[in-house]
Homo-oligomer: A and B are copies of this chain.
Amino acid sequence: MPDALSPNAPINTDRLQTMMETVSTFGGGPDGSMTRLTLSKVDGEARDWLGQWFAQNGFVQQVDAIGNQFGKMTLAGANAPVVMVGSHIDSQPNGGRFDGALGVISACEAILAVTERLKAEGRLSACNFQVVNWTNEEGARFQPSLLGSSVFTGAAKLDWALDRADGDGITVRQSLEAIGYAGTDKVEIPDALIELHIEGDSTLSSVGERFGIFTRHWGATKYRLAFLGRQAHTGATPMAQRKDAVLGAAYLIADLKQMAGEHGLDLHTSVGRLEVFPNSPNTVPSEAVLFIELRSGSPEVLAEAERKMKVKIEEAAAKAEVSYEVRSIDRRRAGRFSADLIAMAEEAAASHGESARHLDTIGGHDAVAVNDVCPSVVLAVHSRDGVIHHPTEFTSPEDHALGTQIVADMLYRMACEGVNVAQIKEAAE
């Protein structure tokens, strides 16, 4: 067993930085911004560059039908376990350079460093490694987000995903063909998945730490709810005769805020979108459609919040004397990442004198999708002031190196000891 107190497979920080700088030339602006929308021309150019790097460094590229781009390093024979590592290189419009890209580039460097180390030691590997660059993590050009990873796991249907269209009516299918990434490779579900990502929040900043592990991913329950009243004149109609759909909405919005307060930090509630009809200043609204989100790291809290919300919807409708219709419900399950991978990351961090703060990821990551089908984890390095999706998003080269070294340590350990990780997701059931 390797020495736990020193880097087992030391990464090459210069090589890592050069790759980070190179990938940033594809869609990067002079102000630090990044606009590399998924399956755009510049995304295609970045993918081509990554494919060339795979070829030059002994990785075999595969591309599946939704355009997920893989680079496999086979060290242990065709039937050995596979550890997949990566993230996404697509970005938001006018976003930052580190969200996603760091996870792909660090995967390349970590696998290369482990491969070199094993060769130098003449050691056989217990597993193979595979870089992944997922299609459309961001959901900025095509909705929904996590599209490539969701097709990979089977949670989304391929044909449906290929038919998603952007604001100009161009489909995923057309975009994949245009940049040459409508692949035909069948890639197997791996035995473990590791994703390194910038934190994108300010917890590490606030406690003065550099490294964290997302141990839980929050679930979300999303309702599209319509309150239905009766259109009438805001002048002549007596107040007692009004059926004001917006009033029902107002009561519920206040109640949802109140509900979040009752659960401390464990529940987020929001109404981000509100559609009012006919939306005329002198007409009592006949319809108000609310886009409600409940989010929690605890499936129990989420279920309880939904139960409470149903009562509040009834109460708001009764108080405003309107009716309501639930137009759609969308649920994303809360869960926990692999305890084995979390423990392995903690040990690797400790070997470098770093603590590993446990974090929740509330928004999505590809590893959240993949965690449904194989043991996964998302590791986080400090992002300055918690900024994400903005040109000022920043993670230092030292923190890139720390995160990448921890990934390399984990991979080296699995190469030496085998991929002995189980999936723990009982909390998600």
Chain A contact residues, CB within 8 Å of chain B: 200-201, 218, 220, 222, 233-239, 242, 244, 246-247, 249-251, 253-254, 257, 260-261, 265, 267-276, 279-285, 291, 293, 295, 362-364
A272-B234 contact in complex given A253-B250, A254-B254, A257-B247, C-beta closer than 8 Å:
yes
- State the CA gap A326–B308 with chains docked (Å): 35
User: B253 touching A247 by the CB < 8 A rule?
Assistant: yes
Tell me which residues across on chain B come within 8 A of A235, comparing CB atoms.
218, 220, 268, 293, 295, 362-364
- State the CA gap A278–B261 with chains docked (Å): 24
In the A-B complex, the 8 residue pairs with the smallest Cβ-Cβ separation, listed nearest first, are A250-B253, A234-B270, A235-B363, A281-B291, A250-B250, A235-B362, A273-B281, A236-B362
- State the CA gap A283–B291 with chains docked (Å): 11
Minimum CB–CB distance from A100 to chain B (whole Å) comes to 15
A284-B272 contact in complex given A293-B234, A362-B235, C-beta closer than 8 Å:
yes
CB < 8 Å: which of B201, B261, B272 contacts A282?
Answer: B272
User: B265 touching A284 by the CB < 8 A rule?
Assistant: no
- State the CA gap A282–B267 with chains docked (Å): 15
Tell me which residues across on chain B come within 8 A of A281, comparing CB atoms.
222, 272-273, 291, 293
- State the CA gap A249–B283 with chains docked (Å): 18
Minimum CB–CB distance from A120 to chain B (whole Å) comes to 41
- State the CA gap A272–B244 with chains docked (Å): 9
CB < 8 Å: which of B236, B238, B265, B362 contacts A200?
Answer: B236
30 contacts between A and B (CB under 8 A): A200-B236, A220-B235, A222-B281, A233-B363, A234-B268, A235-B293, A235-B295, A236-B362, A236-B363, A237-B268, A239-B267, A239-B268, A239-B269, A246-B253, A247-B253, A250-B251, A250-B253, A250-B254, A250-B257, A251-B254, A270-B284, A272-B279, A272-B280, A272-B285, A273-B276, A274-B274, A274-B285, A275-B279, A281-B291, A282-B293
- State the CA gap A364–B235 with chains docked (Å): 9
User: Which B residue's beta carbon lies closest to that of A285?
Assistant: B272
- State the CA gap A212–B218 with chains docked (Å): 63
